Chain A
Amino acid sequence: MEAIKNAFDFSDLPKTELSLAAAVLVFLLGFPALPHSSFGMSTMIQFLAFSLYGMGWNLIGGYGGQVDLGKAQYVGIGAYTTAVMMIRWNVPFWFSMPLGMAFAVGWSFIIGYPLFRLKGHYFAIATIATSLVLKDLFEVWDFVGGARGLELPIKGDFPNWLYLQFREDYYYYYILLAMFLVGLIYVNGFRHSRLGYQLRAIKDNEHVARSLGIDVHWSKIKAYAMATAFVAAVGSFHACYNYNIEPEDVMSLDLSVLIAMMAMLGGAGSIWGPIIGAAILVPMKNYLGSWLGGQAGFAGMDLALYGLIIMVIAAAQPRGVYGIVEAVRARRR
């Protein structure tokens, strides 16, 4: 009961932030009704997906301070569970998504146990290694289609709620928005939870945390598993939304880094950080790409600019955009 009350308790956040968040929420709820291009809609769906990935990453990377660069493997597990079960046994999305989350969490326990013996850079590179190993295995595993990937059959009779197949994108949008809100409330609860406090103590100083009686290793593993569940759920959604998955697409290093980067640029360790990061980077990437990318002679210009912006933010404010907001607020006082 206490946990549920905590989850809905936003009262510790500043008033301005809450009213801004409420305005954004109204906008998000009403977005499909506003005049928009379909590219705008696709961008919004990607924004929601990356916000969720980022929220997951934030649990371990932001609150726990453990730089995880291997989240894509769990996107893959979620996506593949849904795809394989639908193709082979006609299992609807609503059953395969929780199963995918369970598989991902199980896998995260298996590798999390040894993984968290490592610290700092060793940990970061080991997470990359585990993700690459899993990807390589999926690329030769025939049961899941190998490198050729899996294509989900189109079941017809839209809208098909069981298999999450729709003709119009706003169905996907609202489903993802619902997941987004659940995720947000969960993260809010996590902030106030025992584990949340333990993690922040670990982030500040592991030795002190241990001397306070916190089981550092176990706390990290638990937070890692929760982060995993988020990512796997969105992975399942991605399989249905995209109708086609390949290891190169859902388990790549690029995706892992992008997930971590969005959260970090927005502000790791704050509830709004991943959302801000996704809101900046996703549209920037899409629109810079379609603006500069299609023009002859400018190939690479869009991503060079993108890299430059990332460098500037990382150099100017290591706590990300939210860090800038906090710094401004601190100066006002």
Chain B
Amino acid sequence: MEDIAIQITKSLVSGLLMGLVFALVALGLTVIFGVMDIVNFAHGEFLMVGMYTTLLTSPLLGIDPVLTLPLAGITGAILGVMCYFGLIRFLIKGPMIAQLFGTFGLMIFLRNLALLFMGSEPRVIHEGWLVGKSFIVGPGVVLESTKLAVAVLSLVSFAVVWWLINRTKVGKALTATSLDAEGARYMGISTEKMNALAWAVGGASVGIAGGLLVNFWPVEPGVGLLFTMIAFATVALGGFGSVRGALVAGILIGMIVNLPPVWDAMMRLVHVSGLDIHSFKYTMVYAIYFLIMVLRPQGLFGWKQ
């Protein structure tokens, strides 16, 4: 019984950490969607670019990977703005389906550009303040330094974005653009600028996330899709465009994928073996997503249909 209690604590902690990681990755996606109703398939590729930025610039500048985070953020923001003016501006005139495929093409393009220049080998950062460190607190509860840092960054980013949207003039303009782009234009708001800003904020947040994640995760050109699918589920579950929703949904998904060890502990208690649910952990995420969607088609905190 005690075994299970410990395992539940462990799973809660690692679920919370992982959930905040998922939430951070999804943040940029939900900001962009909130402002201009577009789902970016290439979101994970932005993350990859952030990861490579840190991986490459840290040894080049001779500084710790953590210190290159602003660079990763700037790279992400520039990439976001470039994508907006080079592609998205044209896509938003078309139907949703053209938008999906436009960003899908962007995903293929960025991923294979990375393959062309970086090669297919996964790479890791070997040295740094966060690399390979973890703390054990309480009865075997592990806090990995990188995940902890990402989790903190995640909370900070959510606070900043929330403040930006709800407490600043720019944020009001962003909200106006997302509610009624035409109306906002009449009010003298440059929607073009607002959209570009959304892409810059979205790109920067996911770029920074990538710069931090690479302290723990290996990076390769295909790494984006691992996170994109989870980010999609996170954003849709929380409600497209809802910042609060992304945070809650991210944590929920983090908890779900950390259920299997608890299940295993329970199975050990009743001496049953052979029922492995680890291979279902992402299946559960999608199944629960589907169920919640059916019950509440606008997502947990969504206000747009």
Contacts and interface: CB of A to CB of B under 8 A. Distances in A.
Contacts, number: 149
B106 A307 contact: yes
Given A133-B283, A299-B120, A304-B116, A125 B297 contact: no
A268 to B, nearest CB: 6
A67 B116 contact: no
Nearest to B109: A307
Contacts of A128: 229, 232
B87 A264 contact: no
B236 A303 contact: no
Interface stretch (B50-58, B89-97, B187-195, B202-210): B89-97
Given A129-B289, A299-B115, A304-B112, A61 B97 contact: yes
Interface in B16-42: 33, 37, 39
A140 interface: yes
Interface string A116-132: 01111110111011101
A327 B99 CA distance: 20
A140 B274 CA distance: 13
Interface string B213-244: 00000000100000001001100100010000
A311 B236 contact: no
A125 B116 contact: no
B164 interface: no
Contacts of B163: none
B100 A124 contact: yes
B102 A121 contact: no
B102 A314 contact: yes
A318 interface: yes
Contacts of B129: none
Interface in A303-323: 303-304, 306-311, 314-316, 318-319
Contacts of A306: 108, 112
Contacts of A253: 229
A120 B97 CA distance: 9
Contacts of A300: 111-116, 221
B96 A67 contact: yes
B107 interface: yes
A137 interface: yes
A276 B216 CA distance: 45
B282 interface: yes
A126 B293 contact: yes
Contacts of B87: 311, 315
Nearest to B232: A125
Contacts of A268: 97
Contact of A308 (B105, B111, B279, B293): B105
Nearest to A127: B290
Interface in A235-270: 253, 257, 260-261, 264-265, 268
A121 B112 CA distance: 26
Contact of B104 (A120, A121, A261, A304): A261
Contact of A132 (B98, B286, B305): B286
A14 interface: no
Contact of B108 (A119, A121, A137, A303): A303
Contacts of A130: 286, 290
Interface string A264-282: 1100100000000000000
A126 to B, nearest CB: 5
A100 B109 CA distance: 36
Given A121-B236, A128-B232, A140 B279 contact: yes
A298 interface: yes
A136 B297 contact: no
Contacts of B113: 300, 304
Contacts of B116: 298-301, 304
B233 to A, nearest CB: 7
A132 B297 contact: no
A303 B107 CA distance: 10
Contacts of A314: 91, 94, 98-99, 101-102, 105
B135 interface: no
Given A310-B101, A315-B87, A315-B102, A121 B96 contact: yes
B280 interface: yes
A151 interface: no
Interface in B257-290: 279-280, 282-283, 286-287, 289-290
A307 B280 contact: no
A117 B294 contact: yes
B80 interface: no
A114 interface: yes
B299 interface: yes
A122 B100 contact: no
Contacts of B91: 314-315, 318
Contact of B109 (A115, A119, A120, A308): A308
9 cross-chain pairs, A with B, having the tightest CB-CB distances, nearest first: A318-B94, A300-B115, A310-B105, A307-B108, A307-B109, A318-B98, A314-B102, A311-B105, A315-B90
18 contacts: A61-B97, A65-B95, A118-B293, A121-B240, A122-B240, A128-B229, A130-B290, A133-B287, A136-B279, A140-B280, A264-B101, A300-B221, A304-B112, A304-B113, A307-B106, A310-B102, A311-B106, A314-B91
Interface of A: 61, 65, 67, 69, 114-115, 117-122, 124-126, 128-130, 132-133, 136-137, 139-140, 253, 257, 260-261, 264-265, 268, 298-304, 306-311, 314-316, 318-319
Given A125-B39, A310-B105, 20 more contacts: A114-B290, A122-B240, A124-B39, A124-B100, A125-B232, A130-B286, A136-B280, A136-B286, A260-B101, A299-B115, A300-B111, A306-B112, A307-B106, A307-B109, A310-B108, A311-B87, A314-B91, A314-B94, A314-B102, A318-B97
